[in-house]
Amino acid sequence: MKIQALNIQIGDRIVAYCNSKRQICTVKQVLDSGQGSIALTVCPSGNNRLSLSRVIRFHQDASVDVL
């Protein structure tokens, strides 16, 4: 299912490019970066350690695949 990036919540599993690969990631934190974009702290699905987390950015009106 696709939703707007603005509607993503903590705990959602999304499909995104992380570590140069398209993979399933779990949203750990939603950061409001302003300027028409949203930043998310995510972890690849197999790893829930914060040391492996990455920040990815989307335009607020972007469509994101949620599982």
pLDDT of residue 53: 87
Look-up of token digits 């499909």: 15
pTM of the model: 0.83
For 9-63, the pLDDT digits (tens) are: 999 999 998 888 899 999 999 987 677 899 999 988 666 666 678 899 999 889 9
Domain spanning 2-66, CATH architecture: Roll (2.30)
Helix (H) or strand (E) holding 64: strand 63-66
DSSP 9-56: -TT-EEEEEETTEEEEEEEEEEEE--TTEEEEEEEETT---GGG-EEE
Domain boundaries, the chain: 2-66
pLDDT of residue 36: 84
Task: Please check whether residue 16 is in contact with residue 44, taking contact to mean a CB–CB distance below 8 angstroms.
Answer: no
pLDDT of residue 41: 92
